[in-house]
Amino acid sequence: MQPDHYTYRVTWSPEDQEHVGLCTEFPSLSWLAATPEEALSGIRQLVSQVIAELQASQEPVPKPFAERKYSGEFRVRIPPEIHRQLAMAAAEQGVSLNRLASAKLAGEKVA
């Protein structure tokens, strides 16, 4: 696995008063640093080390989200009343229930 294919994020930690580097595929890892650049560099190095250790011990290495395949489908269970409300809203807007739900999940307005 290429360490640069993973999903990294740097944010401020008020508790630590430092920037924290995170990797989505390795949620238990983090790196604290004085600057965002150092936090990103630190978490990338740490992920590289963990990948090498996992490979050396023949343990599975998480696949980067960017390299995973998605079908575009997932199932959500909701209470019947909410299902009814969504079906009615979709009908009133002249769109499919799927289009309405997709737009709501994405924070979009349905045209």
Domains present along the chain, CATH in parentheses: 3-66 (3.30.160), 73-105 (no CATH)
- The model's pLDDT over 86-96, given as tens digits with 9 standing for 90+, comes to 999 999 999 99
Looking at residue 68, its pLDDT comes to 95
Q: Say how far apart CA 82 and CA 87 lie, in whole Å.
A: 8
pTM across the whole model: 0.74
- CA atoms in the 13 A half-sphere facing the CB of 93: 17
Looking at residue 55, its pLDDT comes to 97
Q: Which of 4, 20, 1 is nearest to 12 (CA)?
A: 20
Q: Say how far apart CA 6 and CA 14 lie, in whole Å.
A: 25
Burial class of residue 97 (count of CB atoms within 10 Å of its CB; 0-12, 13-18, 19+): middle
- The model's pLDDT over 4-34, given as tens digits with 9 standing for 90+, comes to 999 999 999 999 999 999 999 999 999 999 9
